[in-house]
Structure 1
Amino acid sequence: MSRTLDATRGSVTVAGATRTFTLVGTAAPGDARPLILVFHGSGQTGDRHRAFTGGVYDALAARGALVAYLDGFRGNWNDARRESRFPARRADIDDVGFARAVVAALASDRRADPGRVHAVGYSNGGQMVIRLAHEAPDLLAGAAVIAATMPAPENFLAGQAPRASLPVLLVHGTRDPIVSYRGGTMNWALRTLFRVGGPTWSATRTARYFAERNGITTGPTTTRLPKKVPADPTEVERTAYEAAGVPPVVLYTVHGGGHTVPAAASSAPALVGRTSHQIDTADLITAFFGL
């Protein structure tokens, strides 16, 4: 599926530096398509993340959106965690400016609709989406965070723009060996390998945080989804925070899932845990954001 769609390389200039991305899908000037910004994990590029996920987000392009796989600086993003130590942080790379520049470039001739921009991030990319949700909420119509949780207050770097309510979709595996579903601090080996540190909240507390940020004060509704693939040992639970007149927040808990993006096909290595086939992340995004 993924390799039959049109993919082109693009670039923008941010603070005098050339930043690159891969665009999947086509649109003529004036089409005003929804735009999906995809932020990869540590050590990846946009194209590597596309392969790592089995091209799952390409399905969004097949359904009429434009999908931009952005390339981080030397494999990383200047994300929301205070104790990140990779080159993007040390060089103080303006990744918020990069996201704005990509949107501006694709919206300049109305190929993309600037009112329907959604950011999707995995791991380090999920932390980048958390940063965007706080510093550039005006840029986004919604955010999806996969295999990443909210930094604890003492580890939270992002600034605070005027608050704006956003629909937030969260996906996290209970057996994630890198970013614990329960939160806390990575062990020494992982902190050294990924050059990050500091405590983070649990996935459930992260969902509650975004719900409260949207003004939702009622408790969530939790349902266990039926198994679509009987042989797949993972199971999925949906926890939804909803209230009249405000955007929802939904957490998909993948019981037995690892540090992966749920999809029908994935090349994620076994060392990051199991990829669930009970849900498809592109389907979740399509339904949740009304694409």
Structure 2
Amino acid sequence: MTFRRKKLLLATLAAMLLFVTLTELIARAGHTEPATITISAASSQSPSPSRRETGTVRTAAQTLMNQSTRTITVNGLRRIYLLLRPVQSVGRLPLVILLHGRGLTPAAMVSLSGLAPLVAEGRAILAVPTGLGLSWNAGGDCCGTAGRSRPDDPAFVHNVVAAVLHGEQIDTNRIYLVGYSNGGKLALRMACEDPAAFAGIATYGAVPLVPCAQGGAVSVLLAAGTADQVLPYQGTRLTRPPLMSVAAAVQLWHDRDGCPARPTTTGRVGPAEIRTWRECRNHTAVATVIYHDLPHAWPAQPRVAAAASAATVIWDFFTGLPDVPAPPDPPAATVARATHGPG
């Protein structure tokens, strides 16, 4: 065999090998995964779009929980929320309402928040409402689509609570509200307007946008990053509406709840500096969590250690609060349609 024929044969074999490899890669790319979703406590990315709606969610610990999409009608408007509950649970569980940031889908907020493991471990039930245009009417023309159209988002959140109470085994003394950014601003608006509705409220990257007159006491945790460019830590008058400083927001709740002058406990976990005032009016508590040098992004692994994550800090705050009975007659939800996940 001549040198030229050997070279031609080798080139032909190499081309055949490349074709087989490319064919295998294309086949793998087209392979459809099962409907099971993997969510880790350290995850900061949302599931793929095709898996956001309904399915069974599996955590890193391989503990199953059910996810379903629910639809309710509030003031003639069709609204949607996600419900995550354990496959197996014993007794009545706390309910956490999670309000996403502007532009985030509920599924993305679940993944980002790090709260899903609470459900998988049978410690809570999680409901995640969907804002109009992925935004919330937090007052003061904020924010986005909801800020312009001004839906009654507090009524929507209350109706989600009522719908979940109707269908799930919930400890009505432990109903909590958590909000991020635009969702946090709505949570603080609701804390001002209806403080008796929740046993505790926690936010990251948010301050109140509307006047908060003296009223009922409610336990509040406000967390923020000192390097936040969206919610400047020192506040700003250059936005509409203007944003108060984080320190002013903490002082507002400190005064409203009638807390002692000095914090009951102080501590630091990684970048998170935590101060908590307990024995406030009606046994409420106020806490501030300052994340030094952190931006507007929700604090989660791997950016921070698990012990300093917003999910851990918030849940520790909630579990240290006294139980607060829910209002005797929560708003009745008009359930238009419910699509249930497996189980």
Whether 1:279 aligns to 2:279 is no
What residue number does 2:75 align with? 15
Q: Deviations over 1:159-216 (max 9, x none)?
A: x6x8221111111100001111111135xxxx5xxxxx22122112211111111111
For 2:192 and 2:136, the matched residues in 1 are separated by 15
For 1:177 and 1:13, the matched residues in 2 are separated by 36
Whether 1:210 aligns to 2:253 is yes
Q: Percent identity?
A: 27
SS in 1 for 2:315: helix
Give runs of aligned pairs for residues 48-87 of structure 1, distance below 5 A: 48-51=108-111, 53=112, 55-61=113-119, 62-80=121-139, 82-84=140-142, 86-87=144-145
1:35: Cα distance to partner?
0.6
What residue number does 1:178 align with? 230
For 1:222 and 1:110, the matched residues in 2 are separated by 35
Q: Deviations over 1:225-277 (max 9, x none)?
A: 143xxxxxxx2211222336531111110001110222225xxxxxxxxx433
Of the structure 1 ranges 82-91 and 117-126, higher mean CA displacement relative to structure 2 is found in: 82-91
For 1:221 and 1:173, the matched residues in 2 are separated by 22
1:112: Cα distance to partner?
2.1
1:63: Cα distance to partner?
4.3
SS in 1 for 2:154: helix
For 1:137 and 1:85, the matched residues in 2 are separated by 22
TM-score by length of 2: 0.68
Report the residue type matching 1:258 in the other structure.
P
What residue number does 1:269 align with? none
Q: Aligned match of 2:273 in 237, 254, 263?
A: 237
Q: Aligned match of 1:169 in 208, 213, 221?
A: 221
For 1:169 and 1:225, the matched residues in 2 are separated by 15
Conservation of the 8 A alpha-carbon contact between 2:269 and 2:308: no
Of the structure 1 ranges 12-21 and 109-118, higher mean CA displacement relative to structure 2 is found in: 109-118
Aligned residue pair count: 257
Bigger proportion of residues as helix: 2
What residue number does 1:268 align with? none
Give runs of aligned pairs for residues 115-126 of structure 1, distance below 5 A: 115-126=173-184
Report the residue type matching 1:101 in the other structure.
N
Q: Deviations over 1:22-72 (max 9, x none)?
A: 111237899432110000111122112223x1x501122124210111110
Of the structure 1 ranges 30-39 and 88-97, higher mean CA displacement relative to structure 2 is found in: 30-39
For 1:210 and 1:76, the matched residues in 2 are separated by 25
**What are the ranges of 5 or more consecutive residues in structure 2 without an aligned counterpart?**
1-38, 41-56, 59-64, 321-343
**What are the ranges of 5 or more consecutive residues in structure 1 without an aligned counterpart?**
192-196, 228-234, 266-274
Report the residue type matching 2:101 in the other structure.
G
Conservation of the 8 A alpha-carbon contact between 1:27 and 1:111: no
Q: Deviations over 1:129-164 (max 9, x none)?
A: 01110122222111001111233xxxx267x6x822
For 1:50 and 1:29, the matched residues in 2 are separated by 20
Cα root mean square deviation, aligned: 2.5
SS in 2 for 1:225: strand
